[in-house]
A and B are shown apart, each in its own frame.
Chain A
Amino acid sequence: MEADFNRRARQGDDEAAEALVRQHQEAVFRLAYLITGDAHEAEDVAQEAFIAALKALDRFDTERPLRPWLLRITANTARNRRRAVGRYVNALRRLVWVNPEQSSTAEAETSQKWESQALWDAVRRLNDADQEVIYLRYFMDLSINETAEVLKVEPGTVKSRLSRALGRLRGVVAKDFPVLYEGREA
């Protein structure tokens, strides 16, 4: 089914191209958001990534799953964009960002959201490679094999990178986000 859409899209079928974008836009936007930290920036990145992907579709093996390839283009586009402009502006924006839903949600849900947000803040203290493997595996919920496909490495390499990244994340959390770390030392 997906292979058929991909084939039609690369032959210039606009409907197939749009269906393909709709199918993957949530994953692409979310990864772009995690990397850039800004919804508007993420929307631009997602658009740019899809335009690039649709143009490069004739070089893609349509029998392979599209999502890892799309996510790779997205990660590269987002990373380059973040380096080029707005890195520090976005960091500042995030610092003053207040979750508008906090006052109206149930306490447990609010607490969970706060912890997820704090986890993201902690992940963003890591280097780019650590961030990426954590985003793909845990935030985007990709399998080890899919993560390996996006990063163009072996599954074993993903496991070892994850292990190291989680270790470094634990260090950041222990030092700067002790509330997230509660209960660990018991």
Chain B
Amino acid sequence: MSEMNDHPNGTPNDQGQNQEESWEMRVQENARQFAYPPTPDVAARVRIQRLQRRPTVVYRRLAQVAAAILIVLIAMMAVPEIRAAVFEILRIGSVRIFQTAPTASLTPQPSQTARPTPVPLPTPLQSVLDLPGETTLENARATVNFEIRYPPSLGEPERVFLQQMEDWQVVLMWERDGAPISLHIMPSATFQAKFFPRDPVTTRVNSSPAYWFDEPHLFMFWLPNGDEIQRDITDNVLLWELGDLTYRIESSLDLEAAQTLAEEIVLEDK
């Protein structure tokens, strides 16, 4: 570390200022000497990703989706009461809907009998507000490779979250009359799972098929490191697909109000 350059004959104020300047110089000098690892050839990786993005990503994601479905099914089949209860799979966009009987519970429960296969415990989230990755709309726009659209009548989002699954998911939030309204936007090639006790209401958003979920249910998604995130959804959810993206509005709104908001989101004319 370099020697100090204090001025012992100055006034106390001068000495304080000199000490600050000297400290800044020491920091600067050491920071400049910092030994970084060698810079990798990022340009080559970027070039390859840009050249191969479309087909490679599509096939990789299909493989990931297939693997994720398999994992969910295996985990579910390991639990006898769920094995008996799951009987149908629906899908819209990125969300697979595993239909379960009303008595089935996917949250680990104390049990008198040992289960044949231990099921890994996921990370539970109580609320949308617990989501990681809060950021700004500007940063979200600079990070994701899709257009972030939201209902104009809600105005600019009050909070913005970015979550990295195998691709980015954006969550926009507003508060109306003390209740949150969240819009979740994710590429349809990703994988998320929803466990619902009965047939969701089939409806439409503009001309696209949509599902309406108005009972508490379980929602799961996965982080790139394999961590599973679970959320108990207590609000109503409208789920639909537009272009390559899947949208969810989660709120206490009724179907008609949620649909009105959803229909404000449209693709621009080419």
Residues of A within 8 A of B (CB): 14, 17-18, 21-22, 25-26, 28-30, 33, 39, 42-43, 46-48, 50-56, 59, 72-73, 76-77, 80-81, 83-86, 99, 101, 112-113, 115-117, 119-120, 134, 138-139, 141, 162-163, 166, 169-170, 180, 182-184, 186
Question: CA separation between A11 and B258, bound complex, in Å?
Answer: 39
Contacts of B28 in A (CB 8 A): 138
Residues of B within 8 A of A (CB): 1, 3-4, 6, 19-20, 23-24, 27-28, 30-37, 39-43, 45-47, 49-51, 132-133, 135, 139, 141-145, 162-164, 223-225, 227
The A interface is mostly helix, strand or loop, or mixed, namely helix
Contacts of A76 in B (CB 8 A): 135, 139, 142-143
Complex contact A26–B143 (CB within 8 A): no
Contacts of B42 in A (CB 8 A): 21, 25, 28-29, 43, 46-47, 50
Contacts of A139 in B (CB 8 A): 31-32, 34
Complex contact A116–B35 (CB within 8 A): yes
Question: CA separation between A127 and B41, bound complex, in Å?
Answer: 31
Question: CA separation between A183 and B4, bound complex, in Å?
Answer: 7
Contacts of A14 in B (CB 8 A): 47, 50-51
Question: CA separation between A34 and B212, bound complex, in Å?
Answer: 45
Complex contact B34–A120 (CB within 8 A): yes
CB distance from B27 to the nearest CB of A (A): 5
Contacts of B41 in A (CB 8 A): 25
